[in-house]
Amino acid sequence: MTVHEEACRPGLDRTPGHTPSMRRAWSRARCVLVLAVLLGAGGAAATGRADETIRVHYLPNDKPLSYRDEAGRARGQYIRIMDLLGRSAAVAFVYESYPWPRAEGMIRQGTLDAFVAVPSEERQSFVLFAPTPMVETRHLIYHRASDPRLDHVETRADLHGLLQLTTVGNQTIETYDPATVRAVRTFDLMLKMVDAGRADYFIGDPLLVPPIAARLGLASRIRGSRAPFLGAFSFCFGLRKDYPGAAGIIARLDTAIRSARQSGEIDRILAMPQ
């Protein structure tokens, strides 16, 4: 079963700064709004009513996974997936966008409810994650296509002395030489710096990096290479532990995730052009 256009119409990004009229329109509509990495509008669950409204953080510049369109609406593959899950689990999602470290802090403080992220040990101290991953991926080493040093990396020692980039607040991408790691704000900047020779590589998601490189005109200049020591990463829906009824909500969402994965619906959404 495919996602119908009606079910996937984009939702309103409720980031502070939207006008009162936009917020009143949302209130009248009472529709499910979806967004994530991590996330548009959703219909109610198949039972017809959303039992919970959850404020979810999303990344507005990670097209095709999640992004904010020109009208200020949340779009992307993760949005469509969350919409599907919300309908199945009777959950309405409202999406807000903040810098990642701030979003994690807000979830800790209870001023934001949820995100889609890798369930690191530190995050599990304040977030309850759905056991079934929403998306799984195996990261690659991204580097200049003209740099032969990174074509055939076999061990971590092969990366010693090379300048690695990572994103601010990243808890899940290993760093192999802490003395030569620099944190920057966006994947766009990482790609541009590697292309310009200001850094040697970064480790990234093959669902995310190639579309960004293509948008920047760098598709032929940046290459993703495998390394034996790079394992798979699981991106899971996480809800703050002190959200009322968190365990029950996570159980419903986990059932929806397992169903969507078994049916192939999540893979079909990830394959849709944006």
Q: How confident is the model at residue 116 (pLDDT cuts 50, 70, 90)?
A: very high
CB 115 within 8 A of CB 238: yes
Q: What's the one-letter identity of residue 135?
A: V
pLDDT for 173: 62
pLDDT for 274: 60
CB 12 within 8 A of CB 97: no
**For the segment 190-203, what is each residue's pLDDT rounded down to a tens digit?**
999 999 999 999 99
Calculate what percentage of the chain has a pLDDT beyond 70: 77
| DSSP conformation letters of 156-204 | GGGGTTS-EEEETT--SS--S-GGGEEEES-HHHHHHHHHTTS--EEEE
Collapse the DSSP code of 93 into the 3-class scheme (helix H, G, I; strand E, B; otherwise coil) and give the result.
strand
Residue among 7, 81, 65, 95 nearest 253 (CA): 81
Whether the pLDDT of residue 143 is over 90: the answer is: yes
Q: Which domains does the chain have, with CATH numbers?
A: 11-135+235-271 (3.40.190.10), 140-230 (3.40.190.10)
pLDDT for 174: 64
- Which residue is it, tokens 């034996």? 228
Whether the pLDDT of residue 186 is over 60: the answer is: yes
CB 66 within 8 A of CB 60: yes
Whether the pLDDT of residue 3 is over 60: the answer is: no
**For the segment 52-111, what is each residue's pLDDT rounded down to a tens digit?**
789 999 888 778 888 888 888 888 898 899 989 999 999 999 989 888 889 999 999 999
**For the segment 16-57, what is each residue's pLDDT rounded down to a tens digit?**
554 444 443 333 333 333 333 333 333 333 333 456 789 999
Radius of gyration (C-alpha) of the chain in whole angstroms: 19
Whether the pLDDT of residue 142 is over 50: the answer is: yes
Q: How confident is the model at residue 248 (pLDDT cuts 50, 70, 90)?
A: very high
Better-predicted residue by pLDDT, 186 or 247: 247
Whether the pLDDT of residue 139 is over 50: the answer is: yes
Q: What is the mean pLDDT of residues 244-256?
A: 97
Distance spanning both ends of the chain, measured CA to CA: 19
Lowest mean pLDDT of 45-49, 118-122, 137-141, 265-269, name the range. 45-49
pLDDT for 255: 97
Residues 6+ positions from 196 with CB-CB distance below 8 Å: none
CB 18 within 8 A of CB 57: no
Q: What is the mean pLDDT of residues 202-210?
A: 88
How confident is the prediction for the chain on average, in pLDDT? 80
Residue among 164, 168, 171, 162 nearest 119 (CA): 171
Q: How confident is the model at residue 129 (pLDDT cuts 50, 70, 90)?
A: very high
Which is it for the CA torsion 206, 106, 7, 236, positive or negative? positive
